[in-house]
């Protein structure tokens, strides 16, 4: 019986080892590519898988019996497993691709949560203002009223409205600077 590859011993040197491996490769490579192609349906992938099978064999040749059937069995089993692993990997990728719309929806949910948190912080900050400032800020920024409309409705001067808005901004600014720094830090460092 002719062996595809014989392990080196005292009678074989490295060049004989290399020649035997080249013969093994030449006799089986195209069959292994065809076998893999029937599974993965991609010629390049099949070629890579067949080449990898020979590399695996070369690295583990001491573990494989020397007879032709054992070597072929090892190579075909290696190709089969690698081909099936590739198909499993492709299915995982396809499954992930199908979940992308869900991820987009998740982004919208995250944006909604962030928006709700921001509005909550703004509301808390406005509620912490002194009564006159709070009332003018709400009328100006939430009810979208002009300074003269607020002054008329509250019976105060337009300058008082402007002063109260400036005071409110001075009180709110430190709170929001800390919040903005926290958000920016979160975005850039996490």
Looking at domain 128-189, which of 3.30.70.360, 1.10.10.10, 1.10.3720.10, 3.20.190.10 is its CATH number? 1.10.10.10
Domains 14-93 and 128-189 share a fold: no
pTM of the model: 0.48
Reported for 17-26, long-range contacts at CB under 8 A and 24+ positions apart, including other chains, are: 21/54, 21/58, 24/54, 24/71, 25/54
The confidence score (pLDDT) of residue 110 equals: 62
The confidence score (pLDDT) of residue 89 equals: 92
More confident site: 55 or 106: 55
Instruction: Report whether pLDDT(3) > 80.
Output: no
Give the separation between CA 153 and CA 139, rounded to whole angstroms: 10
Instruction: Report whether pLDDT(82) > 90.
Output: yes
- Residues 122-170 pLDDT 10s: 788 888 889 988 899 889 888 889 999 999 999 999 999 999 988 988 8
Residue ranges of domains in the chain: 14-93, 128-189
> Quick one: which of 78, 76, 74, 86 has its CA closest to 41?
86
Say whether domain 14-93 belongs to CATH 1.20.1090.10.
no
Band (10; pLDDT cuts 50, 70, 90): very low
Instruction: Report whether pLDDT(187) > 50.
Output: no
Instruction: Report whether pLDDT(113) > 70.
Output: no
Judge whether 133 and 168 are in contact, CB under 8 Å. yes
Band (67; pLDDT cuts 50, 70, 90): confident
């Amino acid at each position: 019986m002719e062996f595809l590859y014989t392990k080196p011993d005292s009678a074989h040197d490295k060049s004989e080892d290399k020649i035997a491996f080249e013969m093994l490769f030449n006799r089986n490579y195209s069959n292994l590519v065809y076998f893999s192609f029937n599974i993965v349906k991609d010629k390049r992938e099949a070629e890579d898988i067949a080449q990898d099978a020979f590399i695996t064999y070369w690295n583990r040749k001491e573990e494989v019996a020397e007879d032709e059937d054992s070597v072929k069995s090892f190579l075909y089993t290696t190709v089969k497993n690698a081909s099936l692993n590739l198909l499993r990997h492709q299915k995982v990728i396809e499954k992930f691709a199908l979940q992308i719309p869900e991820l987009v929806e998740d982004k919208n949910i995250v944006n909604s949560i962030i928006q709700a948190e921001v509005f909550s912080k703004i509301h808390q900050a406005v509620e912490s203002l002194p009564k006159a400032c709070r009332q003018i800020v709400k009328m100006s920024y939430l009810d979208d009223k002009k300074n003269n409309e607020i002054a008329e409705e509250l019976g105060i001067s337009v300058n008082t409205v402007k002063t109260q808005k400036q005071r409110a901004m001075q009180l709110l600014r430190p709170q929001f600077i800390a919040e903005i720094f926290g958000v920016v830090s979160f975005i850039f460092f996490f």
